[in-house]
Chains A and B, each alone.
Chain A
Amino acid sequence: MFTRRSAALAAAILLSSPALLGGASAADKPTDPQIAHIAYTAGVIDINAAKQAQKKAKNKDVKAFAEDMLRDHEAVNKQALALVKKLNVTPEDNDTSRTLSKQASDKLAELDKLDGAAFDKAYVANEVAYHKAVNGALESQLIPSASNAELKSLLQTGLKIFQGHQQHAEHVAAELK
């Protein structure tokens, strides 16, 4: 219930609030420094969720999934950092990043109260919803808005990775039922 609601909220913010993505300027689309910040933040959020799951998860498939998330998202963010350094771009904090971080810390606190099978189920359900929301935002907002070709290309690779994660999470969720 909570999972669905917060995912829907995240999707709503990411997808249908260009004003939020535009920040203080009236622009309809986020700038490259803002996109870089949003993408990096989205990765950090999933890394933190995976670290929590490594401590709390009981099911071996869920533990393995968390390990995969940690490894992949760290690899993507490492590439993102290398790219912003190369392009001499400073990621710029913005309302979308702040909203995502706030939602994520609420979710961590919520999941922290659960244990055992209840935690496993809630973590995986949130991973499905979260990747779905991020993929929607990448496809409809972040990739089309990115002006630098290398940033766009990294986001496109990210989209393929995260689509893979979504399918993997769906598979793990189905196994838990």
Chain B
Amino acid sequence: MMPGRVCSTAMAVVFATMVVPACAATVQITMENLEISPNDASAKVGDTVEWINKDVFAHTATAGSGDFDVNLPAKKSGTTVVKKAGTVEYYCRFHPNMKARLKVVP
């Protein structure tokens, strides 16, 4: 029921603006034991990316490009809506050895 409604709303937006394609989804990425999984994730423009921090340490998902900088306190999640296509390399500002890629397709 709910996904259908979200989707038809999205489709209405598509027809109204002819810019935003398809229906938005949520892509989940986990941070646990300082590992980002999946390390290579992909999403479509308009999707929501949700990072789930399972560590007792605070992390961030910070795009090298400056496109997003999401704070992830210990045991909390955070989201961003991806707005443009391309591959974004991101990392954790507190632990820069945590690195991953997010491929955003149109």
A interface vs B, CB < 8 Å?
Answer: 68, 71-72, 75, 78-79, 157, 160-161, 163-165, 167-168, 171
Residues on the A chain within 8 Å of B34, using CB: 157, 160-161, 164
B98 within 8 A of A: yes
Determine if A167 and B74 form an interchain contact, defined as CB atoms under 8 angstroms apart: no
Size class of the contact patch on chain B: 10 to 19
Residues on the B chain within 8 Å of A79, using CB: 56
Given A71-B58, A75-B57, answer yes or no on A167-B33 (Cβ-Cβ < 8 Å): no
The 0/1 profile, CB within 8 Å of A marked 1, for residues 27-45 of chain B is 0000001100000000000
Residues on the A chain within 8 Å of B98, using CB: 164
Determine if A163 and B97 form an interchain contact, defined as CB atoms under 8 angstroms apart: yes
Chain B residues 37 to 75 lying within 8 A of chain A, measured CB to CB, are 56-58, 74
Q: A134 CA to B92 CA in the complex, in Å? A: 21
Q: A66 CA to B93 CA in the complex, in Å? A: 14
Q: A32 CA to B62 CA in the complex, in Å? A: 37
Q: A71 CA to B34 CA in the complex, in Å? A: 15
B interface vs A, CB < 8 Å?
Answer: 33-34, 56-58, 74, 92-98
Cross-chain contact of A171 among B33, B58, B74, B96 (Cβ < 8 A) = B96
Sample 8 A-B pairs with CB under 8 A, ordered by A number: A68-B94, A71-B58, A75-B56, A75-B57, A75-B74, A78-B56, A167-B96, A168-B94
CB distance from A19 to the nearest CB of B (A): 32
CB distance from B35 to the nearest CB of A (A): 8
Q: A167 CA to B95 CA in the complex, in Å? A: 7
Residues on the A chain within 8 Å of B57, using CB: 71-72, 75, 161
Q: A167 CA to B33 CA in the complex, in Å? A: 17
CB distance from A51 to the nearest CB of B (A): 18
Residues on the B chain within 8 Å of A163, using CB: 95, 97
Given A71-B58, A72-B57, A157-B33, answer yes or no on A164-B74 (Cβ-Cβ < 8 Å): no
Q: A74 CA to B33 CA in the complex, in Å? A: 16
Residues on the B chain within 8 Å of A71, using CB: 57-58
Q: Please give me the residue from chain A that is nearest to B92 by CB atom.
A: A164
Q: Please give me the residue from chain A that is nearest to B96 by CB atom.
A: A167
